[in-house]
Structure 1
Amino acid sequence: MQSEKLYSDLKPLLLSLAYHTLGSVTDAEDIVQEVFLTWEEKPPQQVRDVKSYLCRSVHNRCVDFIRSSSRKREAYVGTWLPEPVNTDKFQKNDPLAEMVWKESLSTAGLLLLQQLSATERIVFLLHEVFRYRFDEIAEIVDKSTANCRQIFHRAKKGIGPLPDRNPEIIEKKAAFAERFAEALTTGNIGLLIELLSSDTVLYTDGGGKVKAALRPIKGSEKIIRYFIGIKDEIPAGTRYETSEINGMPGIRLVVGEMIFAVITFHYLRDQLSDLFVVMNPDKLSHFNRMK
């Protein structure tokens, strides 16, 4: 397989695998680029399955990255949230990427995934998202088939089912996102009360780069007070755009051509049970490049 074709054919899969493992598009891109550069500079003499070999290389680099960055994560200012991905763009621009990213984990799912070890994440993703057989996964993570099956079931128990992407359910969730955007835009407190459950939790990630709540805010009343309190700090001319973010309807806050915040939700029946707001500009750089 020629290098250029190999890159175009396998990049979406490897990038998605690395991103879901790390929760960072930027770091995932770096790892995938390093894997391909290593392959081009010194391709192994004998490789039966190139795709499995490169998946294994990505897995190994992700494991090393997680180990080396653990202290950095512990020192992170405020709440850490995964870097959002605009999966709307994959639908419009790249059919192959759309196929790979269509089962993208929601923000809530990615946070649960972060509680697992790197190997548990890879095993879960390869089987649940990318439909790999356990014997194929065993070669990638250097475990027995039986061990991979056990690892998957433990991970599955912790993660739970993937989001239901039935078109009717997606449409209903998109309506929730639009109503939430309307409530923020108009300051409609009654609508916010209707949309948020009493147990809703708000997570904001500014990364120490912009002002954000350092701890999660629990309860609809406190969340509403928070939004009222920051209303005057929202830049003039801000507009709200609904978009598919990590496979689920979400909101982008835009000034001019710059996205300065992305909001995603954990949907629970007829209300929003969790709100995730990413404002760290480093985590929105990839989002803005794709806009």
Structure 2
Amino acid sequence: MTTQTWIITGATRGLGRALAESALAAGDNVVAAVRRPERVADLNTKYPNSFQAVRFDVRDTGAAPALVRTAIDRFGQLDVLVNNAGRAVVGAVEEVGDEQLRELMDLHLFGPAALVRAALPPMRERGTGTIVQMSSQGGRQSFPGVAAYSASKFALEGWSEALAGEVAGFGIRVMLVEPSRFRTGFNEADVLEFAEPSETYRDALAAVRADMAGAGGRQEGDPVRAADIIVSLVHGDDVPLRLPLGSEAVERLTRAYRRDLDGVERWAETARSADFADAPPASRPI
């Protein structure tokens, strides 16, 4: 396989860490963009010639160009950008405030967008590159208690789908990864945030809160297997726009797509009646 250079955000643990280890084991170079570089010091020791940790906060959009320059200066090129850093806030819409919502948007949309903008020019110049956006099954369907998290992932998905069409002609690929639950630190107390419960929604969301808080250590997904799948796809010729990961993601997203399609078909005639009667069929370039 051709050696590739990766930038991976949020690589201290979980899927990000597993991705870094899988890419390094495959002979690739990895720049780990993390808030605490000391947490990946062991990788620097094990892979001194192909690994570099950079102190980086995804929410600092102004630092994105310097991160990309660091990767290119160290390894000569940038082939893969993985926007992985993320976390969740659990709470009803009325319980999650503006500050919490904006922070998730910074982490899951504005930060990744800045990194993509910084990575695209060198990728375009070489005529190749892969952008891996770590979304979620919650980026295509939502449920009570996770509105803020899903809103940020829905935004990332819409932004990335347009991006994929814009950069395909330059040889750049985009893959949205939509995992179900994987055995990472996502559900741990120092990562998962709970909005202050209100009397209005305390009982309605009690089961959701308990489920999210108690999932740590019993998630079905194996981060190592997931990482190996992603690395294999990146090295291959065929990259899907969307990749559900885990059995639950496949099952839940299948149900969601069927539900939405049923809704479109049920209301199709009502929807069509909103057009001017003499208007020609729509015609668009894409």
TM-score band by shorter chain is: under 0.3
TM-score by length of 2: 0.22
